[in-house]
């Protein structure tokens, strides 16, 4: 029997894992630049080469995006989301929505039951930002919608489920941009999540599930109509 003896992780991999951890914790936000090499070298107490190896690793797996002459940007929160993003890029939209229909109502229910009062207050803040963005600037609306759903993901208090849900949400900006206004014409309050937030505030998980299922079924019908 041939057994590969365990080896200590390289220093660069340890730095990469800590960078990823800090991104997941929100120390640096998705869409923003990571700190400069000088700052990170001082923060981690490592050489420039070690730091660059760590950044290169995170860029290869899809967490970071290095743009020559412009800096290195965070494009997703962790390795799991990066892997899911690559997987979902080649998936049919109808399959993504079908997965959401199975998962999202239960995630909403868990968030309603498990979210703290502080969580709900933060959700209300996210929702107000979403409403303001819809009225003022469309690009900001898409980002605000992702943050709104990310807050719900955190409220369900299941990190694995939250990461999976967040990864699916991050895969949908183009879909939101192309289809939201079609859906929103006759159902503005529904698709701006006004009733959903009210139900979460009074912790009515069953009705929150029902309204989420209704919204997703309407989306699925629109997609089926578009594809036919």
Does one domain contain both 159 and 71?
no
> 154: which residues sit within 8 A by CB, 6+ positions away?
119, 162
Does one domain contain both 122 and 218?
yes
Q: Is residue 175 predicted with pLDDT exceeding 90?
A: no
Does one domain contain both 116 and 223?
yes
- pTM for this model (two decimals): 0.71
Does one domain contain both 23 and 136?
no
Compute the half-sphere exposure of residue 227: CA atoms within 13 Å on the CB side of its CA.
10
| Dihedral sign, Cα of residue 53, residue 57, residue 60, residue 64 | negative
Q: What does the buried/exposed string (b/e) look like for 110-149 if buried means 16 or more CB atoms within 10 Å of the residue's CB?
A: bbbeebeeebbebbeebbebbeebbeeeeeebbbbbbbbb
Does one domain contain both 98 and 205?
yes
Per-residue pLDDT band for 183 (boundaries 50, 70, 90) equals low
What is the span of the domain harbouring residue 59?
11-75
CATH code for the domain in which residue 15 is found: 1.10.10.10
Does the residue 83 lie in any domain?
no
Q: What is the pLDDT of residue 75?
A: 87
Q: Is residue 216 predicted with pLDDT exceeding 80?
A: yes
Q: What is the pLDDT of residues 39-86, one digit of tens each?
A: 999 998 999 999 999 999 999 988 999 998 888 999 888 888 788 878
Does one domain contain both 71 and 97?
no
Q: What is the pLDDT of residues 2-50, one digit of tens each?
A: 433 445 678 899 899 999 988 888 888 888 899 999 999 999 899 999 9
Does one domain contain both 209 and 116?
yes
CATH code for the domain in which residue 108 is found: 1.20.120.530
Does the residue 80 lie in any domain?
no
Does the residue 82 lie in any domain?
no
State the virtual CA torsion across 98, 194, 163, 204 in degrees, nearest 10: -90
Does the residue 207 lie in any domain?
yes
Residue that is written with structure tokens 């991104």 in the block:
23
The domain tally of the chain equals 2
Does one domain contain both 142 and 215?
yes
Return d(Cα 176, Cα 180) in angstroms, integer: 5
């Amino acid at each position: 029997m041939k057994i590969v003896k365990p080896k200590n992780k390289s220093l660069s991999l340890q730095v990469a894992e800590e960078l990823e951890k800090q991104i997941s914790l929100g120390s640096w936000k998705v869409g923003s630049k990571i700190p400069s090499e000088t700052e990170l070298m001082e923060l981690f107490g490592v050489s420039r080469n070690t730091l660059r190896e760590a950044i290169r690793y995170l860029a290869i797996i899809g967490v970071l995006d290095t743009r020559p002459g412009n800096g290195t940007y965070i494009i997703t929160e962790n390795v799991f989301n990066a892997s899911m993003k690559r997987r979902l890029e080649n998936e049919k939209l109808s399959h993504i929505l079908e997965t959401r229909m199975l998962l999202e109502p239960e995630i909403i229910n868990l968030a309603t039951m498990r979210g703290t009062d502080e969580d709900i207050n933060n959700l209300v803040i996210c929702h107000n930002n979403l409403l303001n963005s819809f009225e003022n600037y469309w690009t900001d609306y898409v980002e605000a919608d992702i943050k709104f759903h990310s807050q719900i993901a955190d409220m369900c208090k299941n990190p694995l489920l939250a990461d999976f849900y967040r990864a699916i949400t991050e895969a949908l900006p183009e879909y939101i941009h192309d289809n939201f206004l079609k859906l929103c014409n006759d159902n503005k309050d529904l698709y701006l999540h006004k009733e959903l937030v009210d139900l979460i505030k009074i912790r009515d998980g069953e009705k929150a599930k029902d309204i989420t299922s209704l919204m997703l079924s309407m989306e699925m019908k629109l997609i089926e109509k578009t594809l036919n």
